[in-house]
Amino acid sequence: MKHFLALRDYHKDELTHILNLAFTLKRELKQNIAHPKLAGKTLAMIFEKSSTRTRVSFETGIFQLGGVGLFLSSNDLQMGRGEPIRDTAAVLSRYVDGIMIRTFAHSTVEELARHSSVPVINGLSDLLHPCQAMADVMTMLEHSDKPLEEIKLAYVGDGNNVANSLIYGAASLGYSISIASPKGYEVADHVAQQASTIARSTGAPIHYTHDPAEAIRGADFVYTDVWASMGQEDQQQERLRAFEGFTVTEKLMQLGTPNCKFLHCLPAYRDKEVSAEVCDGPRSIIYDQAENRLHAQKAIMVHLMA
């Protein structure tokens, strides 16, 4: 049995299979072709963090696949009152066919998976956001006529869970990525080292810089995220100062290829990490990207639970 905790756990052919399945499921949905591949299956959805896209896409996705999603907040679970994670994992495994969790500590995801006898999906942790990265790759493929290995992605901003998953995605799938972060907000060393090791097999170029212009030059896609993630609200003012000059503007976008597109995992704060001109302009494909969370996650669920 396999879980979906991090892209680094998957080989290129496995991720490619999931992406191909996502495109098939998306095409069938658009053509009103039913695909009840998880009929009678139940997904427990544990939310320790609030959510828009993760909750709606998973709940809608499992329904479209013929199954049922159970929304479980911290207030709904004994886990929220101190029940050991291993007990929650063991009991839920007796009731459901899969577990998705959106939480803070990545160790919570790992412990849940360690004690679960059904597949566990990482819907988000403070370290990683692999479902988002799969939707991102899907979106890049839809908006480029290049093979994935020839696509260059620039990420400008905090070296956070989204950046980490995009780096693992590049290492495993072979696309080029350049990360620009302010000093003190870089990707963690252990993530960079692991990605470098994985990238030896795919030849993926992974580059780090403190200069947004350097990262974006020649990019096919430019990606950013909020400067202060959930749980970092007390650092808001400090981060605003540290990230000065890292706003993705039209001037920066012009350093990319002529058809360079803008990506953001949302929610977006206009005129902070991205100018309103870019976020709401013709280069922006953020809503296509958000939609693809649905299709990518359906493919992940089918891959693990069918």
* pTM reported for the whole predicted model: 0.97
Q: Do 51 and 159 reside in the same domain of the chain?
A: no
Q: Do 143 and 259 reside in the same domain of the chain?
A: yes
Supply the pLDDT for residue 14. 98
Residue 297 appears among annotated catalytic residues: no
Q: Do 193 and 213 reside in the same domain of the chain?
A: yes
Active site residue: 8, 239, 265, 303, which one? 265
Tell whether residue 130 is among the known ligand binding residues: yes
Tell whether residue 200 is among the known ligand binding residues: no
Give residue-wise pLDDT tens across range 252-267: 999 999 999 999 999 9
Q: Do 73 and 43 reside in the same domain of the chain?
A: yes
Q: Do 209 and 172 reside in the same domain of the chain?
A: yes
Supply the pLDDT for residue 235. 82
What gap in Å lies between CA 68 and CA 184, rounded to an integer?
43
Q: Do 141 and 273 reside in the same domain of the chain?
A: yes
Supply the pLDDT for residue 229. 78
Q: Do 82 and 207 reside in the same domain of the chain?
A: no
Tell whether residue 229 is among the known ligand binding residues: yes
Residue 102 appears among annotated catalytic residues: yes
Tell me if 185 sits within 8 A of 249, measured CB to CB: no
CATH number for the domain including 215?
A: 3.40.50.1370
Instruction: Quote the number of domains for the chain.
Output: 2
Residue 265's identity, in one-letter code, is C
Q: Do 119 and 202 reside in the same domain of the chain?
A: no
Q: Do 61 and 142 reside in the same domain of the chain?
A: no
Tell whether residue 64 is among the known ligand binding residues: no
Supply the pLDDT for residue 85. 95
Q: Evaluate the omega torsion of the peptide bond into residue 36 and state whether it is cis, within 30 degrees of 0.
A: no
Active site residue: 8, 225, 279, 283, which one? 225
Name the stretches of the chain with pLDDT < 70. 230-231
Tell whether residue 132 is among the known ligand binding residues: yes
Q: Do 143 and 190 reside in the same domain of the chain?
A: yes
The pair of three-digit structure tokens given for residue 271, joined into one six-digit string: 């005129």
C-alpha distances out from residue 233 to 73, 117, 228, 243, Å = 21, 36, 6, 15
Tell whether residue 293 is among the known ligand binding residues: yes
∠ CA(19), CA(24), CA(30), 5° rounding?
125
Supply the pLDDT for residue 76. 84
Residue 9 appears among annotated catalytic residues: no
Residue 115 appears among annotated catalytic residues: no
Residue 288 appears among annotated catalytic residues: no
Supply the pLDDT for residue 256. 98
Active site residue: 55, 106, 115, 132, which one? 132
Supply the pLDDT for residue 220. 99
What gap in Å lies between CA 296 and CA 131, rounded to an integer?
7
3-state secondary structure of 124: strand
The candidate with the shortest Cα–Cα distance to 287, out of 265, 272, 261, 271, is 265
Q: Do 25 and 36 reside in the same domain of the chain?
A: yes
Q: Which domain holds residue 255?
A: 132-289
Q: Do 219 and 279 reside in the same domain of the chain?
A: yes
Residue 225 appears among annotated catalytic residues: yes
